[in-house]
Structure 1
Amino acid sequence: MENGKKLYLYPLWLRIWHGINALGILVLIFSGISLHYSTRGALLLRFDIAIAVHNIAGVIITFNYFIFILGNILTKNGQHYRVKVQGLPKRLMKQILYYTSGMFKGESSPYPVTEKRKFNPLQKYSYIFVMYIFLPALIVTGIALLFPEMIIEKVFRISGVMITAVLHGILGFFVFLFLLIHLYVASMGKPPGKNYKSILTGWHS
């Protein structure tokens, strides 16, 4: 952080988007698990309720995603997602060494937060991968399952719907893993609740 001063890194639109996205993803995870494991007397959602909740949450997440894309196009937030290939392996390794060793020795972060650099290299490219590859693929497969007539009937003699459903499930699982890692990394602030407070107030200190 620059000169120890507070940085306004999370404008209101981004905080609202983040809140809707986080809640929506949690609903999708719970309802998605329910779709796979719902049985009579189970503690999870009943199948018909789970599918309705999952579809509604999916539609909300889809519209919310377009707000994210539009916000990154129209505001400065987009600068944090620009790819810089030169020196990338070295930057990634430096951050990996910090996470696996340096931080436990009390070393300072090699990439402290600044107004122009909100994410360290590992965060940045993880977010790019999830937000610009995984999530769009999850949305597209979800829309296809919502309107199965759009799906190719057979792919190498395998049901197109089954392939789409399996791919959707795999993508959902990886988004779930990302969420767990995201929550863990966010807890690394000093004190641990610092980063959570930042996304609520907009200010990083």
Structure 2
Amino acid sequence: MQFLALCLLVAPVAYTLAAPDPTTICLPEKSTMRVFGLIRKIQANVSSDFSQNKIAEVTELERRVLDLNTNYSYAIDPTGACTRQRLPVPGIITRCLPPSTVFLGTVFEGFVNKVSLNGWLIPVNQDINVTLLTYTEPGQSDSYFVLRRDDTSWGQRISFVSNPVASIADTSVFNVPAVCPDKPLEVRLNVFKYM
């Protein structure tokens, strides 16, 4: 019995020492998921196409396209009117975890069929830390973010991901109108509403 207790204490430590390489934890090149903002109570269908480096967030109020190549966010309202603004922190959204990511350990979810989730901490800069729980389907290489918490100097944001799929049903969500003026500086809001 004492041997079993010792194994239970040592096994998690041994597992933590063999941390996965964070740069191998990547979203699919193309994916769609439902994202729930747990603090702001916002829901969005989020599509990612890393072959274009674009992310589209669609709510009933607007469609927002994040262009990671140009570091601009485009907000398109239901009438088609568009405004753009600079992404405040380039690199906060990436397909794969950056090398600076710290492995926090593994947790298990479920009563019958246990699912293992890996915890990660991404120190983006001195004002922003992102904590993620990721899930990788056994036998697959792509991972999904199940839960994301952004701790920033301007507040905290927690997002829960549901029903991720490795495809995009409607690629038109990435289209941006040809005319899209800059949003006035005094009314700019945080562009990372959902992710």
TM-score (norm 1): 0.26
TM-score (norm 2): 0.27
Structure holding more helix per residue = 1
Decide which structure has the larger Cα Rg and report it: 1
Structure holding more strand per residue = 2
